[in-house]
Amino acid sequence: MVEFTVPGLHGKDRPRMTKTGHVYTPKATQNFEELVQFCCRRAHRGVVKPAEGPVSVTIKAYHPIPRSAPKYKREKMLSGALVPVTKPDADNVIKIVLDALNGMAYRDDKQVTVLRYLKRYAEEPAVYVRVEEVSQDAQ
């Protein structure tokens, strides 16, 4: 099992193209993927063995509470009564995390057979990640 929290929140950006036709990944995406990898290694003291079989992934994205939110709304946001319907989109957060963990928590993200995603508010933006191997008969 691999479990860790990444400070900050970022979704995968679209690939960009230069005038000469060269395709590249935006720097903000590269930086966040590296941060995900760093947090994974740090949480497991540098020793992360990639899973060989199917895996279950849980991702919880904690969005920052807007500064303009009144106190009564802040309380609802922190309790989960109000949930974020803001960017980054769920699919972009999932993609950046899964791509960053390729070769670390699992050999390839095609091994992900169960995926849970939760979007909530928190005082500080963060992404919680948990990757567990699942047995073939538990599928």
- Per-residue model confidence as pLDDT tens digits over 23-42: 999 999 999 999 999 999 99
Residue 110 has pLDDT above 70, yes or no: yes
Q: What does the DSSP assignment read for 10-56?
A: -PPPPPEE-TTS-EE--HHHHHHHHHHHHHHHHHTTT--PPB-S-EE
Question: Each residue of 51-93: pLDDT tens digit?
Answer: 999 999 999 999 999 999 999 999 999 999 999 999 999 999 9
Q: Dihedrals φ, ψ of 48, to 5°?
A: -125, 115
Which CATH code fits 2-138?
A: 3.30.1330.70
Query: In this structure, are residues 85 and 66 in contact, taking their beta carbons and an 8 Å threshold?
Result: no
Return the percentage of the chain with pLDDT > 90, whole number: 91
Residue 138 has pLDDT above 60, yes or no: no
What pLDDT is stored for residue 124 in this prediction?
97
Domain boundaries, the chain: 2-138
Q: What's the rounded mean pLDDT across residues 113-136?
A: 96
**Is it the case that residue 139 has pLDDT exceeding 70?**
no
| Separation between Cα atoms, residue 51 and residue 107, nearest integer Å | 7
> What is residue 97's DSSP assignment?
H
Check if the beta carbon of residue 88 is closer than 8 Å to that of residue 11.
yes
> Percentage of residues in the chain with pLDDT exceeding 70?
98
Residue 135 has pLDDT above 90, yes or no: no
The pLDDT value given to residue 137: 67
CA-nearest of 105, 102, 99 to 48 is 105
